[in-house]
């Protein structure tokens, strides 16, 4: 493999790699046959220890469409479940398969251990710290809709979770793009990520800021994004955490503040919690297009790993 390091975090990617993956996502979305089957003769392992509909289906079908063969591993299928170390498992897998796509609620360092000492390219299909492939699909969705993000302002409403971290990292790389993250106190982006992405955006003429009240957001907003309050593999302290999130519900009243703004959601959604059905299924919603771009996005990531 020409790119043995895979994709662990968007912080590892340079601007050219991000733009290459996003451009290919849009190209493949437009024409699913716009590739040369770069995974022909290769085997992709798919290790999903947490539930997944879109991401698992996207990487499985993407592997097949690109000419590869997928092998699926469930949460109890590997000997890590009986005590084998993650490092030993990765060393063994590196001698049998060519790529590994992993979803886990565990830390990112486990993904690096699964690389078999760097021999096996690993793709982070969501970990506790970040959901990089979601961020790339989100960026592709926004660019597909707006054409470019210079002067575009994106409002993310909800928890600073793995999806929000990835979104901050991709938006901060776009010249002139401005991102506002509105989160309940104590549930925002990690301070290190906020500082990193704010500095990155400032160097490109954009901004990344965090607020604790969506009602306090003034000025133009071109896209509103939210995600599930209770994300896969996560838990929250205390029985009354939902009370802190209720003011962050995205409904028609919020969207009406910015006529013409589009709506995004990484799905699955809980109508009536983080978003109303009226908004999710309404004319401003790009959520279903966003889900479709996860399919071409998975193909673009697999191609990038196989050929970069």
Topology at the third CATH level for domain 10-129+295-307: Rossmann fold (3.40.50)
Note the helical H segments in the chain. 15-30, 54-65, 86-94, 108-113, 132-146, 162-171, 191-203, 241-245, 252-255, 277-280, 287-307
* Beta bridge partners of residue 43, listed in sequence order: 69
Residue 100 has a pLDDT of 98
Angstrom distance (rounded) from CA 49 to CA 47:
6
Fold match between domain 10-129+295-307 and domain 132-291: yes
pLDDT digits (tens), the chain, 308 positions: 334 479 999 999 999 999 999 999 999 999 999 999 999 999 999 999 999 999 999 999 999 999 999 999 999 999 998 999 999 999 999 999 999 999 998 888 889 999 998 999 999 999 989 999 999 999 999 999 999 999 999 999 999 999 999 999 999 999 999 999 999 999 999 999 999 999 999 999 999 999 999 998 999 999 999 999 987 556 777 778 999 999 999 999 999 999 999 999 999 999 999 999 999 999 999 999 999 999 999 999 999 999 87
According to DSSP, the residues that pair with 209 across neighbouring strands are 180
Q: What is the pLDDT of residue 1?
A: 36
User: Which pLDDT score, from 0 to 100, does residue 230 have?
Assistant: 80
What is the rounded CA–CA span in Å between residue 59 and residue 126? Answer: 12
How many angstroms separate the CA atoms of 90 and 117, rounded? Answer: 8
Structure confidence at residue 94 (pLDDT) = 95
Q: Domain locations in the chain? A: 10-129+295-307, 132-291
Q: Could you give the 3-state DSSP secondary structure of residue 224?
A: strand
Domain spanning 132-291, CATH class: alpha beta
Report pLDDT for 232. Answer: 57
> Given this model, what pLDDT does residue 2 score?
39
**What's the pTM?**
0.95
Q: How far apart are CA 208 and CA 99, in angstroms?
A: 34
Which pLDDT does position 86 carry in this prediction?
Answer: 92
Q: What is the 3-state secondary structure (H, E, C) of 2-37?
A: CCCCCECCHHHCCHHHHHHHHHHHHHHHHCCCCCCC
3-state helix, strand, coil split of the chain in percent (to 5) is: 40, 15, 45
pLDDT at 3: 47
User: C-alpha angle 297/300/304, rounded to 5°?
Assistant: 140
Residues 6 or more apart in contact with residue 76 via CB below 8 angstroms:
none
């Amino acid at each position: 493999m020409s790119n043995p390091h895979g994709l662990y975090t968007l912080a590892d990617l340079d601007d050219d790699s991000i733009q290459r993956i996003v451009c290919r996502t849009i190209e493949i979305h437009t024409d699913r046959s716009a590739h040369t089957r770069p995974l022909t003769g290769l085997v992709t392992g798919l290790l999903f220890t947490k539930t997944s509909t879109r991401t698992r289906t996207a990487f499985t079908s993407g592997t097949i469409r690109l000419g590869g063969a997928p092998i699926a591993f469930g949460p109890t299928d590997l000997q890590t479940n009986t005590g084998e170390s993650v490092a030993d498992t990765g060393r063994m897998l590196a001698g049998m398969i060519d790529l590994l796509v992993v979803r886990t609620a565990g830390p990112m360092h486990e993904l690096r251990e699964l690389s078999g000492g760097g021999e096996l390219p690993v793709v982070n299909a969501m970990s506790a710290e970040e959901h990089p492939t979601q961020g790339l699909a989100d960026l592709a969705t926004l660019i597909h809709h707006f054409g470019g993000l210079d002067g575009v302002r994106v409002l993310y409403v909800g928890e600073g979770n793995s999806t929000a971290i990835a979104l901050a990292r991709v938006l901060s790389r776009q010249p002139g793009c401005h991102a506002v993250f509105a989160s309940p106190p104590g549930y925002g982006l990690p301070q290190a990520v906020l500082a990193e992405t704010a500095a990155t955006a400032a160097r490109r003429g954009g901004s990344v800021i965090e607020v604790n009240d969506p009602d306090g957001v003034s000025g133009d907003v071109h896209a509103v994004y939210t995600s599930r309050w209770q994300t896969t593999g996560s838990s929250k302290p205390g029985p009354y955490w939902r009370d802190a999130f209720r003011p962050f519900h995205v409904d028609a009243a919020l969207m009406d503040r910015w006529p013409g703004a589009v709506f995004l959601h990484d799905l699955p959604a809980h109508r009536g919690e983080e978003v109303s059905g009226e908004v999710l299924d309404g004319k401003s919603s790009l959520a279903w297009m966003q889900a479709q771009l996860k399919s071409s996005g998975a193909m673009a990531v697999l191609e990038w790993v196989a050929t970069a």
